[in-house]
Amino acid sequence: MKRLIISLSIIAVIVMVGIIAIYSVGEKNERLYGHIESVLAAYDSGEDVGAELSGLRAFFENEYVRALGAFVDDDRLAEISVSIDRLEPMYLSDCDEFSAECFAIRSLAENIYLNELPVLFRIL
């Protein structure tokens, strides 16, 4: 009987950690989307994009990576980091693909969230 209780407790802890990971990724992604939207809004309206880019970079480095580093593969976070680092040079050179790179960052973040969801085909 004790083994059954211990086994169920371990399974419950694993499920709780999984739920916390999914919630953390979702919450941080929503905040990242907000930063991306503010960068795009500033870019479209001709406002100071540099301040918005520094806010995006600070959020990503100080909150996003620290919170999700325990749950998410480092390669996926590195991809987003590279894309964020490319935004400022793209903006300064007036590159046409600035908006596309912002949408690529959003897509990479969505991919991270979707990979954290427990789906049957990944379990089998």
The reported pLDDT for the residue numbered 85 is 93
Give the C-alpha separation, 101 to 111, whole Å.
Answer: 15
The per-residue b/e assignment along 2-28, b for 16 or more CB within 10 angstroms, e otherwise, is: eeeeeeeeeeeeeeeeeeeeeebbeeb
The reported pLDDT for the residue numbered 116 is 81
The reported pLDDT for the residue numbered 48 is 84
Give the C-alpha separation, 51 to 96, whole Å.
Answer: 20
Q: Who's near 25: CB < 8 A, 6+ residues apart? A: 68, 71, 72, 112, 113, 116
The reported pLDDT for the residue numbered 47 is 84
Q: Which residue positions in the chain have pLDDT lower than 50? A: none
